[in-house]
Amino acid sequence: MALSCRGVCRGASLILLYGKRPVGVKASLCTPRLASTKSSSLWFVRHYSPSQARHGIGRSVVSGLKWTNEKYERFLQRRFPRFYVLYNTFMRGFRLLFQDGKEVRRIVARMLSERIEHQNLPYRDMEKIRQVRRDLIKAIPLVIISIPPFANYLVFILMYLYPRQLLIRHFWTPQQMVEFQGVYHTQRAQHHWAIVKGMESTSTSVQDSRLKSRLTELCSKVRSGIHPVVSDVHAVRTLFSGPPLGIKRMYADQMRHLCALLFLTPRLPGFWIGRRLNSHAFELMQLDRAIVRLGLHQLNDAELREACYMRGLNPDRLSPGQCREWLTQWLQFSTHLKESETSLYLHCMVLLTINFPKHPRH
């Protein structure tokens, strides 16, 4: 029996259109006809649902893109090794930034659903929110620059030339991370002795002779290279909750020197600087209490070093044991402070770090 081209074409059209065979039609070597029985027959096309077809195409596209990307990376690594390091760092940075964003979203969702206050969060969750917020604030100028058309080319050049000033930590190589932290610590260490000198000059206005003597003795001890103990600091704590060294009673110059300890800009009005210093110091005090709840022994070496660094100590040349020793002493001091004593907290980022371990003056 001759094949009916018209019937074959109609059946093929239905198969291509719907992705499956037409109901009640069977394909054979003769003209398609209505199937009256479920007799065995040879089907030209295997059955696929539209969703299965889409998934198959999606997997093929993803596999192709992955293969192309791997080939491109091998080409860069072989022909342009320096550019490959930059490219790889950027790709890793975007992945880390995306992961941090998802993590913060999860933390905020849990806070809302379980009605958890910020100060009651676990240490790692609280620290993650703090760090991501600082990263986003730093990234805002770069985003604004890249808004105009074709400005992204300028942005890439600026990021390559000024990675420390423009990029956040996700886009730094491990070597850059160590190098840039050293640079930032050197910058804040330049203000250490100005802060100590400001405390000494302020002591002349203290009316209580006993407190005046203890403050002068504390400053002299630090100047002579001796690392003070917690009791030395607590002996003068009342001077930092009111006049003359309270956060709202200090001279503007002293507050501007303290800004360097937290990497804050000093180019703001005095009242605004005071509010920012108080807010950041109180946030660190909450983090200290979260560490105590968690247990200091739960922090790994990287977390120990980061905790020491953000509290004014440079951990670059310290062992994990020394970091743990210093942070233990710091927590003994900070967990007994009140919210009104944020000024003492900030000044101790100099008093309790400048001679630990004993090293020459900056």
Give the tens place of pLDDT for each residue, 235-263. Answer: 999 999 888 899 988 999 999 999 999 99
Residues in CB range of 131: below 8 A, 6 or more apart: 100
pLDDT average, residue stretch 128-134: 93
Average pLDDT over the chain, rounded to whole? 82
Q: How far, in Å, CA of 215 to CA of 202, rounded?
A: 9
Residue 295 pLDDT exceeds 60: yes
Q: How far, in Å, CA of 188 to CA of 170, rounded?
A: 22
What pLDDT is attached to residue 12? 42
Read off the pLDDT band of 192 (50, 70, 90).
Answer: very high
Amino acid 132 reads V
What pLDDT is attached to residue 84? 77
Read off the pLDDT band of 111 (50, 70, 90).
Answer: very high
Residue 28 pLDDT exceeds 90: no
Residue 227 pLDDT exceeds 90: yes
What pLDDT is attached to residue 140? 82
What pLDDT is attached to residue 22? 42
pLDDT average, residue stretch 328-349: 94
Q: How far, in Å, CA of 152 to CA of 146, rounded?
A: 5
CB 227 within 8 A of CB 355: yes
At 201-225, the pLDDT tens digits run: 998 888 899 999 999 999 999 999 9
Residue 171 pLDDT exceeds 60: yes
Question: For the ranges 113-127, 135-149, 176-190, 327-341, which has the lowest average pLDDT?
Answer: 135-149
DSSP for 243-280, please give it: TTTSTTTS-HHHHHHHHGGGT----S-HHHHHHHHHHH
Cis amide prior to 244 (ω within 30 degrees): yes
Read off the pLDDT band of 142 (50, 70, 90).
Answer: confident
Read off the pLDDT band of 313 (50, 70, 90).
Answer: very high
Q: How far, in Å, CA of 242 to CA of 340, rounded?
A: 9
Residue 294 pLDDT exceeds 80: yes
pLDDT average, residue stretch 275-299: 96
What pLDDT is attached to residue 53? 56
| Position with higher pLDDT, 301 vs 45 | 301
Read off the pLDDT band of 76 (50, 70, 90).
Answer: low
C-alpha distances in angstroms, 178 versus 131, 137, 160, 191? 17, 22, 18, 21
Residue 65 pLDDT exceeds 80: no
Read off the pLDDT band of 36 (50, 70, 90).
Answer: very low
Domain limits of the chain? Answer: 1-48, 80-172, 189-351
What pLDDT is attached to residue 362? 39
Cβ burial of 194 (10 Å; 0-12, 13-18, 19+) is middle
What pLDDT is attached to residue 149? 76
What pLDDT is attached to residue 152? 64
